[in-house]
Amino acid sequence: MPHHTRRADQTIKRPTFYRVTRKHVARGSGFELLNDAALFTEPPNTLLPPLGQRGFRKYPEMPVFLADARLGLIQRDFEEYSGYWFISDRTKTVLERIDPSAFAFLECRVQLRDGADGPRRSLCDVVRVLDALDEERSKVTTRITSLGTKSIWIPMSDKIFFREERVGSHHVFRVMHFESYVVCDEDMRLACKESGLSGIVFEDLTGRHRQ
């Protein structure tokens, strides 16, 4: 093989993956669910995906949230609620543009303390789950639960690697067997950054830096 070919192969840029989470600050979210009694006519009495699935259960009415700055932050584009993302309309626009099939949305009504309508919000779930974690290269803990299912624990401080052929052209996904862990690529990070979205953080899984 010619030397120049080997050098070209060695300089191929590998994709960077990021863990997506909210920016943690001293003040928490200032949103409070108001109509839980109407939404949850039977257990579980909280916002959760259908059993064994991603997405949203069917509710008898739209979730209504109180937005009160005295309770916490209400201006950021990206918050979390009950394991879902709680996002502004402009965040929803960015996500639908970058990878529409990766997400499910549940529109919510926001009410201010005086009863007036606040800016629209949606609950968002990343519904794509990929078995793409490179367990051999990553420092993860794997075990079999009492139910016989596989469980993975991913430390927050170690480098994590994914099998690029399994990720393919997808921009965002949950990690199979550790579904609370949401990963995206550079395209999604840049799209959010260029739109100036607040409250969302991208943790570089190569261990180089936090963005």
- 109 and 63 Cβ atoms separated by less than 8 Å: yes
Sequence-separated (6 or more) residues with CB below 8 Å from residue 6: none
pLDDT cut 70: percent of the chain above it: 91
Measuring CA to CA, how many Å separate 165 from each of 5, 24, 125, 131, 169? Answer: 22, 33, 24, 11, 9
Distance between CA atoms of 32 and 68, rounded to whole angstroms?
8
Q: Please give the average per-residue pLDDT across 135-145, as a whole number.
A: 88
pLDDT at 13 over 90: no
What was the pLDDT predicted at 11?
54
> Domain limits of the chain?
3-204
pLDDT at 206 over 80: no
What was the pLDDT predicted at 210?
47
**Quick check: bond before 43 cis, omega within 30?**
no
Distance between CA atoms of 68 and 52, rounded to whole angstroms?
34
Distance between CA atoms of 49 and 12, rounded to whole angstroms?
40
Q: pLDDT (tens digit, 9 = 90+) per residue, 41-77?
A: 988 999 999 998 999 999 999 999 999 999 999 999 9
Taking the CA atoms of residue 189, residue 192, residue 195 and residue 200 in that order, the dihedral angle to the nearest 10 degrees is: -120
Instruction: Indicate the pTM of the whole model.
Output: 0.88
What are the structure tokens assigned to 115, written together?
A: 């009863």
Q: pLDDT (tens digit, 9 = 90+) per residue, 80-105?
A: 999 999 999 999 999 999 999 999 99
pLDDT at 29 over 80: yes
Of the candidates 13, 19, 16, the residue with the CA atom closest to the CA atom of residue 180: 19
Of the candidates 99, 85, 35, 26, the residue with the CA atom closest to the CA atom of residue 55: 85
What was the pLDDT predicted at 14?
76
